[in-house]
Amino acid sequence: MATVYIGLGANIGNREANLRMALHGLTRMARVEAVSSLYQTDPVGSEEQPAFFNAVCRIETGLEPESLLRFLKSLEHEIGRRSGTERWGPRPIDVDILLYDERIVQGAELAVPHPRLGERAFVLVPLAEIGPGVRDPIRNQTIANLAQTIDTSGVRRIKNQGWDGVAGREGRVRL
């Protein structure tokens, strides 16, 4: 089993419900072990769009990185994301593999750690909350250290851990 950190984001539709659906969907192929607080974040890229809701979760899965990516793309499609939309534009759901154990994956469809992990406050803040001592194997720094090097002014916590209703204190899924 691999320990994987997944980034979740949504900025159209019922953003919180979309993130909950993604977390629930993950339970089909993984065990959700931890979920960060829920954050509202300023959009990156195309600034003229609604604010995002973001969170990060830690899962355990038996899927290899490429198989996990295919599953996540299918999950995004179920929740309403369609291919061919503007890169970094509005979306009902975005689910990204941030870290997969301590592996480095460089493929045509997938790069792990996520290539922009060290630049994105909307990922680093929630990731540092549930995995501060985890190391980025490319930068060889902990997530907590990376999070201290970026501007986090556009990241606002709106709900504490437990908002998701998926990862229980005992590590069991409650829906």
- The model's pLDDT over 10-30, given as tens digits with 9 standing for 90+, comes to 999 999 999 999 999 999 999
Q: Which of 94, 120, 136, 164 is catalytic?
A: 94
Tell me the average pLDDT across 65-69.
95
Structure tokens at 126: 């929630």
Would residue 101 show up in a list of annotated catalytic residues for this protein?
Answer: no
Would residue 91 show up in a list of annotated catalytic residues for this protein?
Answer: yes
- State percent of the chain over pLDDT 70: 89
- The model's pLDDT over 125-137, given as tens digits with 9 standing for 90+, comes to 999 999 999 999 9
Can you tell me whether residue 71 is helix, strand or coil?
A: helix
- The CATH number assigned to the domain with range 2-115+154-159 reads 3.30.70.560
Q: Which of 81, 120, 136, 164 is catalytic?
A: 81
Read off the pLDDT band of 156 (50, 70, 90).
very high
- E strands of 50-150, at which residues? 52-61, 94-100, 105-106, 111-112, 135-136, 141-142
Average pLDDT, the chain: 89
Q: Which of 15, 20, 58, 96 is catalytic?
A: 96
pLDDT in the model for residue 91: 86
- The model's pLDDT over 68-113, given as tens digits with 9 standing for 90+, comes to 999 999 999 999 877 755 556 688 899 999 999 999 999 888 999 9
The closest alpha carbon to 143, from 121, 159, 163, belongs to 121
Would residue 151 show up in a list of annotated catalytic residues for this protein?
Answer: no
The closest alpha carbon to 34, from 167, 123, 164, belongs to 167
Hey, where are the domains in the chain?
2-115+154-159
Read off the pLDDT band of 149 (50, 70, 90).
very high
Q: pLDDT at residue 45 above 80?
A: no
| Contact of 14 with 86, CB cutoff 8 Å | no
User: pTM here?
Assistant: 0.91
Would residue 156 show up in a list of annotated catalytic residues for this protein?
Answer: no
pLDDT in the model for residue 102: 94
The closest alpha carbon to 94, from 50, 38, 40, 53, belongs to 53
H-helix or E-strand spanning residue 74: helix 65-79
